[in-house]
Chains A and B, each alone.
Chain A
Amino acid sequence: MPEKEFPTLAYEAAHTLERKGKDNEQVDILLREIEGGRLTAFDGASVSLLQEVLKEEGKMKVFSYLLDKFDDIFLWLGTHIGSKYAGYEVGKAVTKSELGKEYAKRKASEYLSRVLRLDIEEGILGKIKEEIQERLIQPIIDSFLAPLAGQVAVIPSAIGGYLGGSVLTGGTVELLRERKRSHGFERIAILIEASEQMIRDRKRKDNTQDPRDEIIAYHEAIIEDPKRLGHHLINEEWLQFVAAARKAKVDKLRELTRSPAIVAADKTKEGLTIQENLVETIIHAQERITQADQEMAIAILSQFDKELEKLDDPVEKYIKGNHRIFPKITRYSKAFVRGGVNATGVPLLFRMVKGTIKIGVRVMSGGFIKL
């Protein structure tokens, strides 16, 4: 069976992903180029095309798509490369995964040299290549042979797994299977489910209260009551509850920014134009959303604070943790996030694609395009 070349694999990978229903005109253009045989896995011509496309509206969509899908593409490739080498004999014992990795590394470096072979000073080129290699390509290569397809998996031992899945990024809360009666989580689970359903379906039965308001209020009430309204929640239950309450808060706050009727009518101040009023409303919503996220971060951190380990009540842990962390969180989180984002290849790629880092591209035909 003839070995499939990297370009064909990339094409097939991109097509497979496209079939998953991504509606994106710009991506169609790229795919058509692949079909036309001109786009051979990210060579100079494809980069210049990408640049043309990126000048147009919706450019971030393509960027996000590519960045989002890079790991999927390599994962897909990894699976196929792995199976291809199933019967391969080498002089010494070599595992499938090593061969796959070597192949991918080679192709990734070829790709890098082609795309980045350009007319910039040696020093900068070297630095960019190194950064991309280390921060973006390498982790993608490393994630190659993970047994998952599509979305990046939630690692069970991580706190996100603890929270039952993609609670934060919009997935449904997968509630704990075992609910101990004595904890009283069942009542809360019902509130969570009602709120999640409201957020998902965007409608509620007439004349009933907004379930989002209910869970938000209940959450407040439990914090205020030293007896916790009779509940004896454990850490995980508490965090799931907090996550669901946060989601409800954020959902309501985001609504504020959207309906023009609400925006125009709500709290119109003397002397403010409509636009000023709109901006105020949006800023107000951002501030409250920020606070909701900070509170949740603190709720999580306080559950894993060694100093508070002795306490049984997760709410008490939260109250104490909040006291300590809240005054510092804005500043701390800024530094943390700055470091975290810089530890990835994202800012670099972002700027390359935006053209902030000026590089030129050697096109296949021998011409030269300034990006």
Chain B
Amino acid sequence: MNDEVSPNFIKEFIKELFLELSISLPEGENSKKIIDALENRITARLFLEMITMLTPEQAQKINVDIDSQTPDAEKLVMQLSKEIPYFPARIAQVLATIRVELIEDLKELQNSPSQE
């Protein structure tokens, strides 16, 4: 798979956001846990939004793929995305919306007092 293009874009997206909001967490478990949790949230949201961009027929292909012995989600979405109008712009829009939500949701981390 084309990993050179995007080793983990979503993690980068999150770390960039932390930088922007001046959020710094103490090294170790907390930092990893929260980034993982945010990554899962963003993934789930993007997955959901992508599904709503599909037609029912296209969605059925996902059902078939998930159920198969050798699912290939990346290949399927590459195919499907070609059939979705304005796909890149819509993904960018979703990311922009998620970013706005995260800024609100992570505000408290900005203000929280530092560890003793």
Contacts and interface: CB of A to CB of B under 8 A. Distances in A.
Interface in A169-220: 169-170
A279 B44 contact: no
Given A139-B89, A341-B10, A297 B47 contact: yes
A282 B109 contact: yes
A67 interface: yes
B104 A290 contact: no
Contacts of B60: 304-306
A333 interface: yes
Chain A interface bracket (under 10, 10 to 19, 20 to 34, 35 or more): 35 or more
Contact of A136 (B12, B44, B53, B88): B88
Interface in A56-94: 57-60, 64, 67-68, 70-71
B108 interface: yes
Contact of A143 (B16, B45, B64, B85): B85
A279 B88 contact: no
Interface in A136-168: 136, 139-140, 143, 146, 151-153, 155, 157-160, 162-163, 168
A9 to B, nearest CB: 19
Contacts, number: 246
A342 B89 contact: no
Q: DSSP class of A's interface residues: helix, strand, loop or mixed?
A: helix
Q: Which of A60, A131, A345 has most chain B Cβ within 10 Å?
A: A60
26 contacts: A60-B16, A143-B86, A153-B86, A159-B54, A159-B55, A159-B59, A168-B52, A169-B93, A257-B105, A275-B114, A293-B48, A297-B47, A300-B52, A304-B60, A333-B73, A335-B74, A336-B73, A338-B9, A341-B10, A341-B91, A342-B2, A342-B6, A343-B87, A344-B87, A346-B92, A347-B9
Interface of A: 57-60, 64, 67-68, 70-71, 131, 135-136, 139-140, 143, 146, 151-153, 155, 157-160, 162-163, 168-170, 254, 257-258, 260, 263, 273-276, 278-279, 282-283, 285-287, 289-291, 293-294, 296-297, 300-301, 303-307, 321, 324-325, 328-330, 332-348, 350-351, 354
Interface of B: 1-2, 5-6, 9-10, 12-13, 16-17, 20, 25, 30, 33-34, 37-38, 40-41, 43-57, 59-60, 62-64, 66-67, 71, 73-78, 81-82, 84-97, 99, 101, 104-109, 111-116
Given A333-B47, A337-B43, A341-B6, 10 more contacts: A60-B17, A64-B92, A67-B96, A273-B116, A286-B37, A286-B38, A287-B37, A329-B66, A333-B44, A341-B9
